[in-house]
Amino acid sequence: MPRHSLTPGALYKLLNDELHARRQVPCQCRMPLPYLVERPDDVSANWRIGTATPCPKGCDALIAEIVTRFWPKFDLFDPTSMAANEDRAPRKAKGVLDTE
């Protein structure tokens, strides 16, 4: 099945809308942003998301389910970005506090 190509914003909107639609309890968790990666093989997606914050209400598990469902359907199209290697994945800047 061919994947549909989406911009980072469009992919994030789909992921985030799905999180809000499927979340069973009120929570402040957010969908991590998708980012471009070098495709490791012919069947894998060319994107990942940042690490979800552990959540006692199960949002982190729900986020993993959503991403797993969307990986085979969508590719990230961002002509202005370079693909990140796993060892160059986005990280928090030093000195930035996590407010959640």
pLDDT digits (tens, 9 = 90+) for 43-66: 899 999 999 999 999 999 999 999
Query: What does the pLDDT read at residue 80?
Result: 79
Query: What does the pLDDT read at residue 89?
Result: 46
Question: For residue 67, with 0-12 CB atoms within 10 Å meaning exposed, 13-18 middle and 19 or more buried, which class applies?
Answer: buried
> Is the full-model pTM beyond 0.85?
no
The residue extents of the domains of the chain are: 4-85
Q: Using 50 as the pLDDT threshold, list the residues of the chain that sit under it.
A: 88-93, 96, 100
* DSSP state letters, 12-68: HHHHHHHHHHH--S-----PPPEEEB--SSSSS-SEEEPPPPP-TTSHHHHHHHHHH
Find where tokens 């999180």 sit.
19
Task: Find out whether 77 and 5 touch, Cβ atoms under 8 Å.
Answer: yes
Task: Find out whether 46 and 77 touch, Cβ atoms under 8 Å.
Answer: no
